[in-house]
Structure 1
C-alpha cells in the first residue's frame, strides 16, 4: 500500500490522471474526518468507490484475528463470493486484533478490468485512510466493551478512568497531547429539589447531545458524577481550538430549553462551567493527575459564577488535595 501511494505521488507531477487520483483520495480522507462511527466510515468508502469506480456491490467487514471471526459492518448491492472471477478485495491493516476488509464485485468483465487498471489508486486510498479506520475500530471496541451510563449513553466513570491511558497509547495523536474538559452543570441540585429526577435526566441527556455535537469520532465522553462529564479531546486540535470547543459547548448548552411541564409548556434553561487541562502523553504526569487538575479547574470555574471556563494553568498555587 505504501509503495502504491508513493508511486502515485511521483507520477502526479507529470500525469494529470495521477494528480486527479491524489485529489480524489484526499477528498475521501477529508470526508472520513467527519464520520461519527465505523458504519459511517464504511458508507463513505462505498460512496467514494461508487462515485469514482462505479462499484455497486460491496461488503465492508471486520476480521478478528484472535477469535477468527468475521463481522459484516456494511453490505450493499447483490451478494457475491470472494472467489468469484469478478470479485476484488483489499485488507486495511489497522495494527490491532481486527483488520478491515473491503470486498466488491464488478458488474462485468470490462468493469473488472477497469478496477484492475485503477488498483494502485484504490490501494493508495486504503493506505491513507487506514489510521481513520483504525481509530473507528478502537472506538467501536471501546464503547461496546464498556459499561455505558444508562441515562446519557456515554461511558461510565470507572471504565473511562481505568482505560483512558491504554486507549491513548493506541490512538494516533500526532501532537502527543490531549485536552481534558471537566464539565459540570451549574446548581444542578436545585433542579432535583425543585422538579424531579425525570427533568434532571432530560438535562443530562441534552448536555450529552451538545457535547457530542461539538467533538468528533476520536474524542471520548464519560459521566463521572451525577452532573459531571469528562471529555478527552484526542483529535489533532491545538490548545486554542480545544478551548474554543469548550466555550462553544458552554454557549450551545445555554441555548437549550428543556421541557419541564408538557401541559403548560414550561421550559428550563441551565448553564454549565468547564475546567480545562492539557496533558502531554510523554510527560511525567499521569492521566489521573491531569483529571484531578481538570476537576480543580472546574471548581475554580464554578467559584467565578455560572457558565464559566477556567484553565488549570491559570492557577498559581494549588493545595495538594486528593479529589479522586
Structure 2
C-alpha cells in the first residue's frame, strides 16, 4: 500500500491522471478528518467509493484477530458473496489486534475492469487512512469499555441514564411520552446457588438476546443490577403496543432452553416478570423517578407470580411500599 502512494507521488509531475489520483485519495483523507466514530468513518468511505468509483454496495467489517470474531459496522446496498468474480476485498492494517476490511462488488464486467485498473488508488487511499481507522477503533473500544456491560453487551446503568437524558432533550418536541419496562428474572439467585455464576451469566446473555429480538433499533436496553434490565421503548406509542411487546418477551424467554451441561444435555428454563411505567416528556418529573416506578411495578409483578406483567398506574395506595 505504501509503495502505491509513493508511486503515485513520483509519477504525478503534472496535472494528469496521476495527479487526479492523488486528488481522489486526499479527498477521502480530508473527509475523514470530520468523522466522529468508526461508523461515521465507514459511511464516509462508502460515499467516497460511490462518488469516485460508482460503487453502490459495501460492507465495512472489524475483525478481531485474537478472538477470531468479526463485527459488521456498515452495510450498504445489495448482498453479495466474496467469492463472486466481481467482488473486491481489502484489509486495512491498523497495527492493533483489530483490522478493518472493506468489500464491495462491481456491477458488471466492464465496471470491474475499471476498478481493477484503479485498484492501486483505492489501495493507497486505505493505507493513508489506516491511522484514522485505528483511532476510530480505539475510541470505540474506550466508549464500550466504559458504557457497555461486559456480560450482556448492553448499556450499563450509568451510561444508560446519561444517554436517556440526552435523548429525551432531543425528542422533547417530537415525542410526548416514553414507556419504560423493568425486566427481572424470577428466582435468579437460585441459579447461582444451584449451579454457578457462569450459568447465571449465560441466563443473562440469553435474556438480552430475547429482548433485542423483540424491540426496534430505536429502543434502548441497559442492565441496571444483577438480573434487572431496563428497556426504553421509543418506538411504541400506545399502551397496547407496549403490553404486546412485554408479553412477547415474557413468552419467548419462558421457551428459551439454556444448556447447563453439554455432556448430559441438561437444560434450564427460567421465567421473567416485567414492570411498566410511562414517562411524560413534557412533565417536570425526573427520569430517575420513572425508573423507580418501573422497579416498583416489577416488584408487584413478581408478587403476582412467575411470568407476570404489572403497570405502575394500576398500583393501589395500600400496595405502595418504599423499596429504596
Band of TM-score, shorter chain: 0.5 to 0.7
User: Match of 1:71, SS?
Assistant: helix
Confirm or deny that 1:71 pairs with 2:72.
no
Return the offset for 1:316. Answer: 2.0
User: Match of 1:216, SS?
Assistant: coil
Instruction: Structure 2: give runs of 5+ residues left out of the alignment.
Output: 1-27, 57-75, 77-105, 109-139
Q: Would the aligned equivalents of 1:179 and 1:232 in 2 still touch at CA under 8 Å? A: yes
Question: Which position in structure 1 is the counterpart of 2:322?
Answer: 321
Instruction: Structure 1: give runs of 5+ residues left out of the alignment.
Output: 1-58, 89-101, 109-139
User: Match of 1:73, SS?
Assistant: helix
Question: Which position in structure 1 is the counterpart of 2:308?
Answer: 308
Confirm or deny that 1:155 pairs with 2:155.
yes
Confirm or deny that 1:209 pairs with 2:179.
no
Q: Would the aligned equivalents of 2:272 and 2:306 in 1 still touch at CA under 8 Å? A: yes
Return the offset for 1:166. Answer: 1.0
Rg: which structure is higher?
Answer: 2
TM-score by length of 2: 0.58
Q: Would the aligned equivalents of 1:182 and 1:295 in 2 still touch at CA under 8 Å? A: yes
Relative distance call for 1:172 and 1:71 in structure 2 (3 A) is farther
Q: Would the aligned equivalents of 1:219 and 1:233 in 2 still touch at CA under 8 Å? A: yes
Relative distance call for 1:161 and 1:316 in structure 2 (3 A) is same
Question: Which position in structure 2 is the counterpart of 1:23?
Answer: none
Return the offset for 1:175. Answer: 3.7
CA distance in 2, matches of 1:272, 1:169: 31
**Superposition map of 1:25-104 within 5 A:** 65=34, 71-73=41-43, 80=49, 82=51
Return the offset for 1:195. Answer: 0.4
CA distance in 1, matches of 2:274, 2:53: 58
Relative distance call for 1:213 and 1:190 in structure 2 (3 A) is same
**Superposition map of 1:158-173 within 5 A:** 158-171=158-171
The one-character-per-residue Cα deviations of 1:103-138 (angstroms, maximum 9, x if unpaired) are xxx999xxxxxxxxxxxxxxxxxxxxxxxxxxxxxx
The one-character-per-residue Cα deviations of 1:77-119 (angstroms, maximum 9, x if unpaired) are 9x7585x59899xxxxxxxxxxxxx9xxx999xxxxxxxxxxx
CA distance in 1, matches of 2:291, 2:107: 54
The one-character-per-residue Cα deviations of 1:138-173 (angstroms, maximum 9, x if unpaired) are xx99x7585211110000011112331112222488
The one-character-per-residue Cα deviations of 1:207-260 (angstroms, maximum 9, x if unpaired) are 000000000111000000110000000114311101110111000000001011
CA distance in 2, matches of 1:156, 1:202: 17
CA distance in 2, matches of 1:151, 1:223: 10
**Superposition map of 1:163-312 within 5 A:** 163-171=163-171, 174-312=174-312
Q: Would the aligned equivalents of 2:178 and 2:281 in 1 still touch at CA under 8 Å? A: yes
The one-character-per-residue Cα deviations of 1:165-197 (angstroms, maximum 9, x if unpaired) are 112222488442111000000000000000011
CA distance in 2, matches of 1:168, 1:268: 39
Return the offset for 1:297. Answer: 0.2
TM-score by length of 1: 0.58
